[in-house]
């Protein structure tokens, strides 16, 4: 059998194309990836699935399951969360974060939304219900009886609306801050603003808002409305701010005043 002589360069050495070993290397790697994934992937996803179910149960996501496979049924580290449509958005976000926090889990996606949960949860993110409450209180204010923390009967309807507007933010931390104007001794103002914020908190709890997500604080006349004279009675107000943060982390309103 007559074989063609191998290509020889001018110095007498064999001249081989470097592309051949390169291609063989790439081919070996593709095979290694497919075989390696076939051996390890199902065990890995089974383990992640178990951990995810535990995390979902702990985060309160009843009826939610995590599917660790792609649409074509291949094992994946990026779970699709299914079910839990009746859960509130705060709970859903909490569930997604709990699953995303499991080591080895990639991006988490809900079946019926395109929202991605990132591993790093934002520390404080304003929710739209804060704007809803601000809009309610822009034209009307929660009124109190003169010099007392008793909520005026005329404001009960407004409180109903406020509690309804806060409902989408259940699970988040809702800070209630009482403010007064600068008339009178500041120590008294501080106590009054705190008592009034607490009265609003109690009224909201009576309307079904869980107390563990509510924080009440009074700042007296320390923070007047921007552009207003500190003595202006319009500074007497209750402000709501909604922060999606961990319940264990003290929010600034938890810090006792000087």
Partner 1 sequence: MPIWLELLVLLLLTFAGGLALGWALWGRSPARGIEE
When binding is defined by CB under 8 A, the residue of 70, 118, 154, 231 that contacts partner 1 is 70
Nearer to partner 1, 76 or 221 (CB): 76
Q: How many residues does the chain have?
A: 258
Residue closer to partner 1 by CB (options 68, 144) is: 68
Does residue 75 interact with partner 1 by CB under 8 A?
yes
Please identify, using beta-carbon distances, which residue of 21 and 63 lies nearer to partner 1.
21
Here's the x/- map for partner 1, 24-43, by CB under 8 A: it reads as: -xx--xx-xxx-xxx-xx--
Local structure of 179: helix, strand or coil: strand
Task: Compute how many residues bind partner 1; rule: CB under 8 A.
Answer: 25
Decide: is 14 part of the binding site for partner 1 (CB under 8 A): no
Q: Smallest distance from the beta carbon of 73 to partner 1, in angstroms? A: 9
Q: What sign does the CA torsion over 100, 106, 112, 114 have?
A: positive
| CB-nearer residue toward partner 1: 48 or 95 | 48
Strands 116-117 and 65-69: unpaired
Torsion, Cα of 147, 164, 58, 109 (10° steps):
-130
Q: How many CB atoms lie within 10 A of CB 26?
A: 10
Contact 98, 74 (CB under 8 A): no
3-state secondary structure of 216: strand
Nearer to partner 1, 36 or 252 (CB): 36
What gap in Å lies between CA 161 and CA 133, rounded to an integer?
A: 8
CA distance 215 to 176: 6
**Locus of tokens 């008294």:** 188
Cα–Cα distance measured from residue 165 to residue 225, given in angstroms and rounded to the nearest whole number: 23
Q: How near is the Cβ of 117 to partner 1 at its closest, in Å?
A: 16
Query: Distance between CA 99 and CA 207 in Å, rounded?
Result: 32
User: What's phi and psi for 94, nearest 5 deg?
Assistant: -65, -45
Q: Rule CB under 8 A: is residue 80 a binding residue for partner 1?
A: no
Q: List the x/- string, 84-123, binding to partner 1 by CB under 8 A.
A: ----------------------x-----------------
Rule CB under 8 A: say whether 50 interacts with partner 1.
no
Q: What is the Cα–Cα distance from 197 to 200, expressed in whole angstroms?
A: 5
Q: By CB under 8 A, name the one of 44, 164, 182, 225 that touches partner 1.
A: 44
Interface with partner 1, residue 74, by CB under 8 A: yes
Q: In the complex with partner 1, which residue's Cβ is closer, 100 or 201?
A: 100
* Smallest distance from partner 1 to CB 33, Å: 4
Where does this chain bind partner 1 (CB under 8 A)? 11, 13, 22, 25-26, 29-30, 32-34, 36-38, 40-41, 44-45, 70, 72, 74-78, 106
């Amino acid at each position: 059998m007559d074989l063609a002589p191998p290509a020889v360069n001018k110095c007498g050495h064999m001249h081989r194309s470097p592309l051949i070993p390169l291609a063989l290397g790439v081919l070996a790697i593709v095979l290694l990836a497919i075989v390696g994934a076939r051996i390890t992937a199902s065990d890995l996803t089974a383990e992640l699935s178990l951990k995810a179910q535990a995390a979902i149960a702990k985060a309160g996501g009843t009826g939610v399951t995590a599917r660790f496979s792609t649409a074509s049924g291949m094992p994946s580290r990026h779970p699709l969360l299914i079910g839990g449509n009746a859960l509130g958005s705060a709970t859903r976000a909490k569930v997604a974060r709990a699953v995303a926090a499991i080591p080895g889990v990639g991006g988490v996606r809900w079946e019926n939304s395109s929202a991605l949960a990132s591993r790093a949860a934002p520390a404080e993110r304003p929710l739209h219900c804060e704007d809803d409450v601000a809009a309610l209180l822009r034209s009307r204010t929660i009124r109190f009886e003169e010099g007392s923390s008793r909520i005026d009967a005329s404001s009960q309807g407004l409180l109903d609306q406020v509690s309804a507007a806060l409902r989408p933010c259940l699970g988040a931390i809702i800070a209630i801050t009482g403010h007064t104007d600068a008339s009178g001794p500041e120590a008294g103002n501080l106590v009054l603003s705190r008592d009034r914020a607490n009265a609003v908190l109690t009224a909201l709890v009576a309307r079904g808002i869980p107390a563990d997500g509510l924080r009440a604080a009074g700042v007296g006349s320390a923070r007047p409305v921007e552009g207003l004279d500190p003595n202006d009675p319009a500074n007497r107000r209750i402000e709501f701010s909604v922060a999606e943060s961990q319940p264990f982390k003290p929010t600034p309103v938890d810090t006792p005043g000087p």
